[in-house]
C-alpha cells in the first residue's frame, strides 16, 4: 500500500464494518512502515528529554510494531511501555508536553493532529489492550488515568474543541505535504470523526480497567463535553455538506455519515452505561457467563450485526437484484420510511451469488442495539396528507428541516428549496434556531405539518426578496450614524451563507429582538461593502468591477468577520495578491496587521511572510519590526529562503526580544540573572531557529558570546568546538545555511551557490582544512563569468581553446554522465595551445557527490608543481593526469579520452581510474 492510500483506506473503512471493530487498528495506521518498526527501542534509550520529532517518530514506529501485519512480537513493546524506568517515564513526559493544533515542526510543542492523535491510537491498539501481559498493560493505562484531568480534560478536549470550531484538522503552520516530505511515516488524519472515535475508545478502555474511573468527576465532565461536541460536530457536518466540497468522508457521503454516527452513538451509550453501572456490572450484563467472553471475534460478530441493522444502502455492496447504488439515487418509498424497514442486505455465498441473511446466521444483538428510539427524536409529520416518521439527532428546527428534506425527497420527485415547519395547528412557522423540545414528540393523531412553499424560490427571486424586503424577519444596521443604513433581511437565507449569523441566530447572541425581529448592528462594515456581501448571499455572485484595492481589502475583512464561505475569502485574497501586489507592498503594515489578527486569511499571511523573506531590508526600514507577533516571527526566521545574513537575523531577533521587554537595556554585560531568564523565556521558540553554526568566528565572538546565557549549555559547547576544532563533526540536527538568492554571482547549470561558496573559500585559502565548510554561511565575494558551456558551445578541444585561451583565474566544472558526480579544477594561470606543461603551486582540483550533496567534498592541492597543468591542442582543461580530458587524435572531435589518475595532486578525486563520459561542462573566469 502506498503512502497516498492511507486516507483512501480510512475512508473505505468509514463505510464498512471495519469501523465498528474496537481499538484503532482500522483507522490509525502507518503503511509500508517496516523500515521503522525497531526505531521505538532506540528512542527509548536516548538520553535527555525528547522533542516533537522524537515523539512523532516513536509513536509512528510503535504503531508499526503493534500492527498485526508486521508479525512483530508485541510483548516486547508492551513490556517496555509498561516499564517504569523507560516507557512509563517517556509516556508521562509526553503527557506533560504542551500541545497545539498549530505546532508545526517546532521542537517544544506536540501537534495534536500529527502526534497526540496517533499516540491515543497507539494506546487503543488491540495488540496492547488484548495483550496477555496484564501487569504492564494495567501500568500503561494507570499512567494515563493519573493524568486524566491535565492530559485528557484540560488539553486533549480543549484541542478537540478548537478543531471543531475551525471545522478543519489542518495544522496552519505546516501542511500535510511538508510534514510528509520531512517524515514520510507520519500519520495524517482525514476526518475529525477519527478523533471522536479514538477518544471514546480510550475512555472506555480506562473505564474497563480502572474500577474507580466510573465514579471519577473528571470522567463525567469529559463524557458530557464529548456529547456536546458530538452534537455540534454532527450539525456542522450536515450544514457543510450543502456548501463545501471536502475530502472528509463524513461530509459528502450521507451513507457513510449515518453509519459513522450510529457507531459513535452506540459506543457513547456503552460508555455512559459503564459510568452509571460501573465496569463489572456492564460486562456481566452483556455477558453473564464470563467477563472473558468479550473477544476480538465477539466484536467482529457485533460489527456484522451493525451492518444488518443499519438503515441505509451501504456503498459498494450487492443487493438482491443488482449492484447497490448511492444513497441519493436509492429508490426509497413511503412504506419503507413509515415502517423504518432496512433495505435488503445480502451475503455472498461461496459461489459468489447473492443470498439474503438468514435469522439463524445472526447473533442476538446486545441490548443497546435495540434502543434506537431512545437516543433519536422520533417525529411524526404529515406530508401531502401522508404520515411520515422522521428520526433525527439534532437539537433545533434547522436539523429537523434537513432530515425532512432527505426523507421527503425520497418520497417524491418534487424539488424543495424551502420548507416551512409548523407545530401542530400553529399558523406561524417555527423560527430558525428554535430548539426542538419534548413537546414535539407526539403521536400520529396530532402530527407536525411540513408545508412546502407554493412557489419555488430560485436565486433570482432571492435578489427580489432582498430588494423588496418581503417576509423579512431580521434587520441589520451597518455603517456609522451619518452614512449608516438598515437592511431588511431573511434569517434562513443569511444563516446558510454566514457562519457568524448562523451561530448568533442559533444562540440568540449579539443581537436585540424588536417586534419578533432579529436586530444586528455592525458599525464597522460600510454600506458599500455590505451591499456587495448581500448580492453574494442572495444572488450567489460577487462583482469587483470599479472597486479599488482599498474597498476590496475592507470587503476581505468583512467577509472574514461574518465568516462567509472560505472560497469567497480565498478568492478575494488571491484577487488582491495577483492584481494589486504593488499597492499591497505600499500598504504592507496595514495588510500585515489585518491578516495576522485572523486565523483565516492564510493567503495574506503567506504573502506578507514571503515579502518579508524576499525583501527584508525594504520591509523592516518602513515597518516596526518589534510589532511582529511571535507566530509571524517564527514563520519568517524558520524559512530557508530568508534573504538575510544570519548575524542580521540574530540581531533582529534580539531587537524583537528587547521590544517585548522595554524594561531591559540593550547592553547584556550588565544584565542580571533575572534579565537573562526573562529574555530567554521571550525567545524560547526563536532561538532553535537561529543557524548559529553558519556564523563566522568573528561574529560568534563579538555578537553571540555576550548572550551565551540565553543558549543551552550543550549548544554553546558544540559551538565552541566547531570554532576551535576544524575537524569537529557537527550534530546531525543542525540547520544548514539559508538559501540566499544573489543575482549575478554565477550562471551555471551544474553547480549552485553552496558549491560556489566552498570554492571561494578554497580560492581565498580560508578554512581550507575545515571538513564541514558547508555548515558556514555562504561566502560569495566574487562573480563568475561564463566562458564556455559544453551543451551550448560543443565538447571539442578546439572550441575550448578558442573561447578560454589567455584567460587567467579560470575554474572548470564537469558533470559526469550516468552519475550526479561533479569534478573540476582551478587554474590561476592561462590556458594556451599548442601546448606545454605549466608549473604552478596554486591550482587545485576537487569533486562533489552531486549538485545538492556538498557535505563531503574532496579538495586536492598541488603536490608536483612541474606537472600541475597540461596545455595541448588536443586537450580540454586538464590538470596533470589527475584530471585529464582529451581526444585521441583530431581536436575537432568530441572528448573521448577522459580519466582521473592521482599523480601531481595530493588526493585522488574519484574512487575509480576508469574512463568517464561528460554530460556537460562549464568554464568560468573569476572576476576579482
What would the pLDDT profile of 863-875 be if each residue is shown by its tens digit? 999 889 998 888 9
What would the pLDDT profile of 594-648 be if each residue is shown by its tens digit? 887 777 888 888 888 888 888 777 666 656 777 777 887 888 888 887 888 889 8
What average pLDDT does the chain have? 76
pLDDT range class, residue 19, cuts 50, 70, 90:
low
All three cell numbers of 260: 459513522
Report the pLDDT averaged over residues 883-891: 87
Q: What pLDDT shows up at residue 482? A: 81
What would the pLDDT profile of 185-219 be if each residue is shown by its tens digit? 788 888 888 889 899 999 988 888 887 787 777 88
pLDDT range class, residue 401, cuts 50, 70, 90:
low
Q: What pLDDT shows up at residue 429? A: 62
What would the pLDDT profile of 118-158 be if each residue is shown by its tens digit? 999 899 888 888 888 888 888 899 899 988 988 999 899 99
Q: What pLDDT shows up at residue 313? A: 34
All three cell numbers of 405: 428534506
What would the pLDDT profile of 309-329 be if each residue is shown by its tens digit? 333 333 333 333 333 333 322
Contacts of residue 73, defined as CB under 8 A and 6 or more positions apart, other chains included, come to none
Report the pLDDT averaged over residues 18-31: 71
pLDDT(795) > 90? yes
pLDDT(827) > 90? yes
pLDDT(809) > 80? yes
Report the pLDDT averaged over residues 802-819: 94
DSSP H helical segments within 489-645, as ranges?
491-497, 499-507, 527-539, 549-561, 566-579, 581-586, 588-595, 602-614, 616-621, 630-637
Between residues 423 and 264, which one has the greater pLDDT? 264
What would the pLDDT profile of 333-362 be if each residue is shown by its tens digit? 333 333 333 333 233 333 333 333 333 332
CA distances to 60, 87, 257, 891 from 57, in Å? 5, 14, 32, 58
Report the pLDDT averaged over residues 156-176: 84
pLDDT(820) > 80? yes
Contacts of residue 287, defined as CB under 8 A and 6 or more positions apart, other chains included, come to 293, 294
pLDDT range class, residue 766, cuts 50, 70, 90:
confident
d(CA 717, CA 710): 13
Q: What pLDDT shows up at residue 417? A: 42
Distance from the Cα of residue 907 to its chain's centroid: 47
pLDDT(367) > 60? no
pTM for the whole structure: 0.41
What would the pLDDT profile of 716-749 be if each residue is shown by its tens digit? 888 888 878 766 777 667 777 777 666 678 999 9
Report the pLDDT averaged over residues 746-768: 87
What would the pLDDT profile of 900-913 be if each residue is shown by its tens digit? 999 999 999 999 99
pLDDT range class, residue 301, cuts 50, 70, 90:
very low
Cis link prior to 306 (omega < 30° from 0)?
no
DSSP H helical segments within 384-526, as ranges?
397-411, 459-468, 491-497, 499-507
Contacts of residue 665, defined as CB under 8 A and 6 or more positions apart, other chains included, come to 671
Nearest Cα to Cα of residue 901 among 860, 871, 853:
860
Report the pLDDT averaged over residues 813-834: 92
Distance from the Cα of residue 563 to its chain's centroid: 22
pLDDT range class, residue 164, cuts 50, 70, 90:
confident
Report the pLDDT averaged over residues 411-424: 49
pLDDT(222) > 70? yes
**In the chain, pLDDT over 90 holds for what percent of residues?**
21
Amino acid at each position: 500500500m502506498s503512502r497516498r492510500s492511507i486516507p483512501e483506506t480510512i475512508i473505505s473503512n468509514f463505510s464498512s464494518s471495519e469501523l465498528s471493530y474496537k481499538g484503532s487498528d482500522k483507522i490509525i495506521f502507518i503503511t509500508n512502515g517496516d523500515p521503522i518498526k525497531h526505531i521505538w527501542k532506540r528512542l527509548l534509550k536516548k538520553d535527555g528529554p525528547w522533542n516533537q520529532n522524537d515523539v512523532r517518530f516513536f509513536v509512528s514506529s510503535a504503531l508499526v510494531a503493534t500492527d498485526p501485519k508486521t508479525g512483530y512480537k508485541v510483548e516486547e513493546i508492551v513490556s517496555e511501555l509498561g516499564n517504569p524506568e523507560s516507557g512509563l517515564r517517556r509516556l508521562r513526559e509526553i503527557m506533560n508536553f504542551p500541545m497545539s493544533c498549530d505546532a508545526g515542526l517546532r521542537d517544544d510543542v506536540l501537534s495534536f493532529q500529527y502526534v497526540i492523535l496517533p499516540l491515543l491510537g497507539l494506546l487503543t491498539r488491540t495488540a496492547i489492550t488484548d495483550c496477555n501481559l496484564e501487569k504492564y498493560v494495567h501500568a500503561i493505562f494507570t499512567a494515563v488515568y493519573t493524568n486524566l484531568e491535565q492530559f485528557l480534560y484540560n488539553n486533549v478536549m480543549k484541542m478537540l474543541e478548537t478543531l471543531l470550531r475551525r471545522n478543519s484538522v489542518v495544522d496552519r503552520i505546516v501542511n500535510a505535504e511538508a510534514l510528509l516530505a520531512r517524515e514520510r511515516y507520519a500519520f495524517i488524519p482525514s476526518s475529525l470523526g477519527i478523533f471522536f472515535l479514538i477518544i471514546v475508545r480510550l475512555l472506555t478502555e480506562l473505564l474497563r480497567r480502572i474500577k474507580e474511573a466510573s465514579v471519577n468527576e473528571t470522567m463525567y465532565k469529559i463524557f458530557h463535553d464529548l456529547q456536546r461536541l458530538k452534537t455540534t460536530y454532527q450539525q456542522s457536518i450536515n450544514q457543510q455538506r450543502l456548501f463545501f466540497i471536502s475530502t472528509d468522508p463524513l461530509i459528502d457521503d450521507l451513507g457513510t455519515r449515518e453509519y459513522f454516527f450510529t457507531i459513535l452513538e452506540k459506543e457513547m451509550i456503552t460508555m455512559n452505561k459503564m459510568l452509571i453501572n460501573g465496569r463489572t456490572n456492564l460486562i456481566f450484563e452483556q455477558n453473564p457467563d464470563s467477563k472473558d467472553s468479550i473477544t476480538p471475534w465477539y466484536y467482529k460478530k457485533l460489527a456484522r450485526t451493525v451492518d444488518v441493522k443499519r438503515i441505509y444502502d451501504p456503498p459498494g455492496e450487492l443487493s438482491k437484484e443488482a449492484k447497490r447504488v448511492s444513497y441519493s439515487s436509492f429508490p426509497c418509498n413511503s412504506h419503507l420510511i413509515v415502517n423504518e424497514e432496512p433495505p435488503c442486505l445480502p451475503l455472498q455465498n461461496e459461489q459468489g451469488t447473492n443470498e439474503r441473511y438468514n435469522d439463524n446466521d445472526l447473533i442476538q444483538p446486545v441490548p443497546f442495539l435495540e434502543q434506537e428510539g431512545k437516543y433519536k427524536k422520533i417525529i411524526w409529520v404529515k406530508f401531502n396528507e401522508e404520515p411520515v416518521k422522521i428520526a433525527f439527532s439534532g437539537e433545533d428546527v434547522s436539523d429537523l428541516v434537513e432530515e425532512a428534506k432527505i426523507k421527503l425527497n425520497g418520497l417524491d420527485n418534487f424539488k424543495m428549496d424551502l420548507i416551512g415547519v409548523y407545530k401542530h395547528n400553529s399558523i406561524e412557522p417555527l423560527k430558525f434556531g428554535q430548539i426542538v423540545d419534548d413537546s414535539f414528540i407526539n403521536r400520529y393523531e396530532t402530527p407536525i405539518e411540513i408545508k412546502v412553499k407554493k412557489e419555488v424560490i430560485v436565486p433570482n427571486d432571492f435578489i427580489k426578496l432582498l430588494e423588496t424586503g418581503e417576509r423579512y424577519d431580521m434587520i441589520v444596521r451597518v455603517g456609522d450614524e451619518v452614512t449608516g443604513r438598515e437592511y431588511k433581511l431573511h434569517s434562513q437565507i443569511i444563516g446558510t451563507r454566514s457562519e457568524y449569523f448562523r451561530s448568533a441566530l442559533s444562540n440568540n447572541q449579539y443581537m436585540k429582538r424588536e417586534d419578533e425581529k432579529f436586530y444586528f448592528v455592525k458599525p464597522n462594515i460600510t454600506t458599500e461593502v455590505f451591499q456587495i456581501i448581500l448580492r453574494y448571499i442572495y444572488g450567489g455572485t460577487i462583482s469587483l468591477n470599479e472597486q479599488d484595492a482599498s474597498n476590496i481589502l475592507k470587503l476581505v475583512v468583512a467577509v472574514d468577520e461574518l465568516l462567509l464561505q472560505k472560497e469567497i475569502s480565498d478568492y478575494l485574497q488571491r484577487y488582491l495578491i495577483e492584481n494589486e501586489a504593488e499597492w499591497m507592498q505600499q500598504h504592507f503594515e496595514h495588510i500585515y496587521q489585518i491578516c495576522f489578527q485572523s486565523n483565516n486569511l492564510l493567503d495574506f499571511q503567506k504573502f506578507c511572510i514571503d515579502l518579508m523573506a524576499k525583501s527584508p531590508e525594504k520591509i523592516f526600514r518602513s515597518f516596526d519590526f518589534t510589532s511582529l507577533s511571535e507566530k509571524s516571527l517564527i514563520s519568517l526566521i524558520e524559512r530557508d529562503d530568508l534573504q538575510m545574513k544570519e548575524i542580521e537575523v540574530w540581531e533582529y531577533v534580539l531587537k524583537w526580544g528587547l521590544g517585548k521587554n522595554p524594561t531591559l537595556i540593550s547592553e547584556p554585560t550588565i544584565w542580571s540573572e533575572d534579565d537573562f531568564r526573562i529574555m530567554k523565556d521571550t525567545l524560547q521558540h526563536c532561538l532553535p531557529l537561529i543557524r548559529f553554526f553558519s556564523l563566522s568566528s568573528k561574529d560568534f565572538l563579538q555578537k553571540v558570546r555576550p548572550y551565551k546565557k540565553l543558549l543551552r549549555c550543550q549548544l554553546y559547547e558544540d559551538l565552541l568546538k566547531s570554532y576551535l576544532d576544524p575537524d569537529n563533526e557537527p550534530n546531525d540536527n543542525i540547520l544548514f545555511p539559508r538559501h540566499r538568492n544573489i543575482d549575478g554571482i554565477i550562471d551555471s547549470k551544474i553547480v549552485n551557490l553552496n558549491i560556489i561558496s566552498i570554492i571561494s573559500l578554497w580560492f581565498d585559502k580560508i578554512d581550507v582544512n575545515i571538513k564541514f565548510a558547508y555548515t558556514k554561511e555562504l561566502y560569495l565575494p566574487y562573480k563568475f563569468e561564463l566562458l564556455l558551456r559544453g551543451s551550448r558551445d560543443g565538447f571539442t578541444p578546439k572550441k575550448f581553446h578558442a573561447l578560454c585561451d589567455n584567460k587567467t583565474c579560470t575554474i572548470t566544472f564537469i558533470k559526469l554522465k550516468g552519475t550526479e558526480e561533479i569534478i573540476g579544477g582551478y587554474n590561476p594561470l592561462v590556458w594556451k595551445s599548442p601546448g606545454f606543461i605549466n608549473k604552478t603551486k596554486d591550482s587545485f582540483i576537487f569533486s562533489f557527490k552531486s549538485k545538492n550533496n556538498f557535505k563531503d567534498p574532496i579538495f586536492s592541492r598541488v603536490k608536483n608543481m612541474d606537472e600541475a597543468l597540461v596545455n595541448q591542442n588536443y586537450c580540454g582543461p586538464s590538470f596533470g593526469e589527475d584530471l585529464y580530458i582529451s581526444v585521441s587524435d583530431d581536436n575537432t572531435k568530441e572528448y573521448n579520452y577522459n580519466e582521473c589518475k592521482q599523480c601531481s595532486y595530493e588526493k585522488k578525486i574519484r574512487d575509480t581510474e576508469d574512463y568517464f563520459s561528460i554530460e556537460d561542462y562549464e568554464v568560468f573566469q573569476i572576476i576579482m
